[in-house]
């Protein structure tokens, strides 16, 4: 590691001003190759940290949080490094090309998706030879741009799981609540078809129940009536007492009383208790 640091110091000390055109491009080529090789060593070391449990030294379970906290990587970049490291054992052709600097860290992470447990299981069920896929896709990554690697891996994944994962309709649910300075609240949101139907039905039920107060209803617009219904819905849920309780534990006080004071009729200690009876 000292030799690596010395080499980097020597590179940083070089004066680039006299260089131009082809000379600069020629200098860049081995630097990019070295960058890929360093990325491969980082991924390999990260994987070994995961496998050996070294990360538990920091009280963590995986290397992702450490890369974010100590290496200052973004969540996405940390995930890419971890994925590339985990794929090395399953994709030996990719691992060799990565170590040689022939593919980038980004490409290695994309190729690593074919070695994720779910895809490996699908490949095994369908008799797909992952070794052949490893060779084919790594060969493409060596000679083609990053975007082509992404498309190739996506095409493989789509063919492997033609139906795709079962869509989760609740993924699109969103609710944003903003409290203004005067204490009023603004919100907006999106619901899936089922959630939207339940919400609309509950609101409309309360709106219709309130129609008996015809005079009051006549003074309220449709949007106001729906807002009233939403507040009433919350009132009803809170009054029912079935919602989870926040900060529901009563204060606890521990008092140490000597046995002499406790049994002495003059103190009356035995007559007191906490919390007080209701």
Spans of all domains in the chain:
20-160, 193-243
Mean pLDDT on 163-192: 81
For residues 119 and 155, is the Cβ–Cβ distance under 8 A? Answer: no
Express each pLDDT in 130-156 by its tens digit: 999 999 999 999 999 999 999 999 999
Name the DSSP class of 244: P
Whole-Å CA distances, 242 to 199, 235, 237, 246: 18, 12, 7, 12
CA 88 and chain centroid, separation:
23
| CA separation for the pair 70, 49 (Å, rounded) | 14
The pLDDT of residue 266 is above 80: no
Cα–Cα distance measured from residue 80 to residue 99, given in angstroms and rounded to the nearest whole number: 16
pLDDT of residue 191: 86
Global pTM value: 0.56
Give 157's contacts (C-beta < 8 A, 6+ positions apart): 113, 114, 119
Q: Does residue 207 register a pLDDT over 90?
A: no
Quote the radius of gyration of the chain (alpha carbons, Å): 32
pLDDT per residue as tens digits for the range 218-249: 678 888 888 988 998 888 888 887 877 665 55
Least-confidence region, from 19-33, 202-216, 260-274? 260-274
The verdict on whether omega for the bond into residue 273 sits within 30 degrees of 0, i.e. cis, is no
- Residue pair 87/94 in contact (Cβ under 8 Å)? The answer is yes
- Tokens read off for 255: 């008092």
Cβ(37)–Cβ(101) below 8 Å: yes
Distances (CA, A) of 42 to 49, 160, 176, 185: 10, 30, 40, 48
User: Residue 153 and residue 160: Cα distance in Å, rounded?
Assistant: 10
Tokens of residue 171, six digits: 């993924």
Residue 194: helix, strand or coil by DSSP? helix
| Alpha-carbon dihedral sign for residues 124, 129, 134, 136 | negative
């Amino acid at each position: 590691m000292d030799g690596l640091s010395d080499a980097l110091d020597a590179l940083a000390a070089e004066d680039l001003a006299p260089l131009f055109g082809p000379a600069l491009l020629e200098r860049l080529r081995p630097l990019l190759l070295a960058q890929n090789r360093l990325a491969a060593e980082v991924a390999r070391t990260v994987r070994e940290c995961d496998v050996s449990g070294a990360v538990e030294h920091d009280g963590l379970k995986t290397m992702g949080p450490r890369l974010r906290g100590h290496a200052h990587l973004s969540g996405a970049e940390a995930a890419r490094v971890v994925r590339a490291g985990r794929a090395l054992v399953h994709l030996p052709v990719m691992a060799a090309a990565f170590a040689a600097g022939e593919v980038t860290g980004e490409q290695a992470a994309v190729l690593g998706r074919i070695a994720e447990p779910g895809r490996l299981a699908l490949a095994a069920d369908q008799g797909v030879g992952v070794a052949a896929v490893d060779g084919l896709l790594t060969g493409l990554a060596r000679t083609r741009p990053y975007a082509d690697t992404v498309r190739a891996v996506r095409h493989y994944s789509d063919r492997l799981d033609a139906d795709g994962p079962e869509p989760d309709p609740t993924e699109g649910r969103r609710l944003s609540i903003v409290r203004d300075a005067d204490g009023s609240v603004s919100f907006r949101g999106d619901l899936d078809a089922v959630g939207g139907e339940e919400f609309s039905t509950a609101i409309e039920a309360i709106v219709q129940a309130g129609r008996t107060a015809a005079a009051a209803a006549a003074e309220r617009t449709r949007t106001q009536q729906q807002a009233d219904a939403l507040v009433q819905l919350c009132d009803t849920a809170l009054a029912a007492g079935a919602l989870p309780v926040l900060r529901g534990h009563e204060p606890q006080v521990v008092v140490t009383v000597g046995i002499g004071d406790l049994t002495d009729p003059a103190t009356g200690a035995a007559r007191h208790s906490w919390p007080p009876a209701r």
